[in-house]
Chain A
Amino acid sequence: MGGDNRFLGLWYVSPYLIGLVLFTMFPFLASFYLSFTDYDLLTAPEWVGLENYERLVTRDRTFAKSLRVTLTYVFTTVPLKLCFALFIAVVLNYRLKGIGLFRTAYYVPSILGGSIAIAVLWRYIFADTGLVNMIITGFGGEPVNWFGDPGNALFTITLLRVWQFGSAMVIFLAALQSVDKSLYEAASIDGAGPWKIFRHITLPLITPVIFFNLIMQTVQAFQEFNGPFIITNGGPLRSTYLLPLYIYEEAFQSFDMGYASAIAWILFLIIMTLTLVAFWSSKKWVYYAGDKRN
């Protein structure tokens, strides 16, 4: 097909091309430019050079705090979520009856979890007189101050994300099911136990999917907004004040577009650096079938 006209294909992809220029490339470059300006929407952007970045790195204590909180959140949430997703996928990957029912039950939270409604639910579940404290006191424990204590507050946000492990789990499950079963048989004939088989056969074979989930979940966790905005509104003492909240407040409440763009670019550079490190390191630990490298 094609061949009739070299430009026919271009005609079909033209919507993407237009959208790419208008809604991705232009904004991408514009935000880079804005990050070097002072722009309050009222007067034209004023070039200030590196001032925004300098202020962020050396003087802005809110930024330092927010960055710390963001990194803590990402580096606890992503590993927890992925380990849990993989663990449940391994448990599910047997010929059990009713596997579909469990898969659905685990998957529903990840479909709904990003919504405001679930964030609202979370707020009421962890409230002082909410469900969780009622259960704790029911077992004779002391009620926990979930939102008043900085350590606990971030934990509730993390828990909301881990609760949505279903989509990562479904991807793991699909990968586990495509592992060639004859490898397991060969290994068990050679006397390998279940843990050895998992460690030395299953795990290496699903590294591409682990890699994929790791990158996607990390990029996504860095952009978490709904949870902290609705559940804790960044508090207490900014203990859940993730960078996207800071960007939102600088841009759309203080209308400090230049400064907000600079924060957004730092966040982007962090995400990009981590992604590149992951891709670079993947040569060492991700196994692709048919690859002769190892």
Chain B
Amino acid sequence: MVDATDMVPATAASREPATMLAPKKKRPSRAGAIVRYGLLIVVGLVMIYPLLWLIGASFKTNQEIFSTPWFWPQNPTFQGYIDGWQTSTPYTFGRFFFNSLCIVVPKVIGTAVSSTLVAYGFARFDFPGKKLLFGVLIATLLLPDVVTRIPQYLLFRELGWLDTFLPLFVPQWFAWEAFFVFMLIQFLRAIPREMEEAARVDGANTMQTLIFIVVPMLKPAIISVCLFQFMWTMNDFLGPLIYISSVENYPISLALRLAIDTTEAFNWNEILAMTVLALTPSLVVFFIAQKYFIEGIATGGVKG
């Protein structure tokens, strides 16, 4: 469901020269540096201020939200969180977090396992039709989801999977997102094969080689895959919108949309508080694992 059709233009190799050459880079003149810093700070503030305002406003009273554009709350209150958490439904927001978890966990695990198996197959073996299949893999990177969405819905409807979480993660168990396979293939190509060959000589079969030799070396890349899939799943809205119909199964994205439709027009702090909560898992994961994102994107090339 993620509109992630991404490719990898630069290989891992292209990172190395950049760092080696870095010391040679010319230092900018003093005036140049000031201009650059000034520009970066102004743009950075404009970029980040909406998020700061969001977090600040979620701790304000409604009256204060409408009275000042300054983000810092004068008398911080948790009322927005307390009211918002109850929601207008019979469930609390906790229920919707749990539902999101029920989608994210099988989806991330399924993506990681199946993409690793398939990437290993492509990168380390020859088999009939490999060239053709790899061509198809590249082509599907560019295939917009919009053209497959309706029949997918009809398929899952036939299977009786509507209003369950299954349509939201089962395709990912079959390495459905070609981008992740492609990213792992690129990483595998950059890893020398000597260790694997040695393991094979010692009598390990290919599966043992994959699990004990390849996966440990591929770990950073697999972590990147998991992180991106986590983010995209948390952001996914259209998938749940199409497949999930009863409120008890709503993930956070649908619950938030329900909240803006059902909360009284001027209770902004409730909505903004729940918006902050909805963003929290992604923000926490991002700050913990930042380097995997930046590396994944720099070597991978991912749309955001």
**Chain B positions within 8 Å of A94 at CB level:** 25, 27-28, 32-33, 36
B147, CB-defined interface residue at 8 Å: yes
In angstroms, Cα B302 to Cα A217, docked, is: 10
Cross-chain pairs A/B with CB under 8 angstroms, 24 sampled: A3-B126, A8-B206, A10-B129, A13-B127, A23-B152, A24-B148, A41-B157, A95-B25, A106-B43, A114-B235, A115-B279, A115-B282, A125-B50, A134-B68, A135-B69, A168-B303, A170-B297, A178-B14, A181-B24, A209-B9, A230-B260, A248-B242, A252-B153, A260-B150
A171 with B40: CB separation less than 8 A: no
B262, CB-defined interface residue at 8 Å: no
B73, CB-defined interface residue at 8 Å: no
- Contact of B174 (CB < 8 Å), options: A15, A30, A180: A15
A9 CB to nearest chain B CB (Å)? 3
B297 with A131: CB separation less than 8 A: no
A131 with B69: CB separation less than 8 A: yes
A125 with B53: CB separation less than 8 A: yes
A23 with B121: CB separation less than 8 A: no
A198, CB-defined interface residue at 8 Å: no
Q: Which 5 A-B pairs have the closest CB atoms?
A: A9-B125, A19-B174, A12-B121, A110-B304, A167-B304
Chain B 182-212 residues near chain A, CB threshold 8 A: 193, 196-197, 200, 206
Q: Given contacts A117-B278, A264-B146, A267-B144, are A96 and B118 in contact (CB under 8 A)?
A: no
In angstroms, Cα B293 to Cα A104, docked, is: 10
**Chain A positions within 8 Å of B272 at CB level:** 121, 124
A264 with B47: CB separation less than 8 A: no
A115 with B40: CB separation less than 8 A: no
B216, CB-defined interface residue at 8 Å: no
In angstroms, Cα B48 to Cα A125, docked, is: 13
A1, CB-defined interface residue at 8 Å: yes
B50 with A121: CB separation less than 8 A: yes
**Chain B positions within 8 Å of A208 at CB level:** 9
B113 CB to nearest chain A CB (Å)? 9
Count of chain A residues with Cβ under 8 Å from any Cβ of B? 103
Count of chain B residues with Cβ under 8 Å from any Cβ of A? 110
A109, CB-defined interface residue at 8 Å: yes
**Chain B positions within 8 Å of A154 at CB level:** none
A216 with B7: CB separation less than 8 A: yes
B18, CB-defined interface residue at 8 Å: yes
A80, CB-defined interface residue at 8 Å: no
A280, CB-defined interface residue at 8 Å: no
The segment from A55-63, A144-152, A220-228 that touches chain B is A220-228
A174, CB-defined interface residue at 8 Å: yes
Chain B 115-149 residues near chain A, CB threshold 8 A: 117-118, 120-122, 124-130, 133, 136-137, 140, 142-149
A223 with B146: CB separation less than 8 A: yes
**Chain A positions within 8 Å of B220 at CB level:** none
A177 with B181: CB separation less than 8 A: no
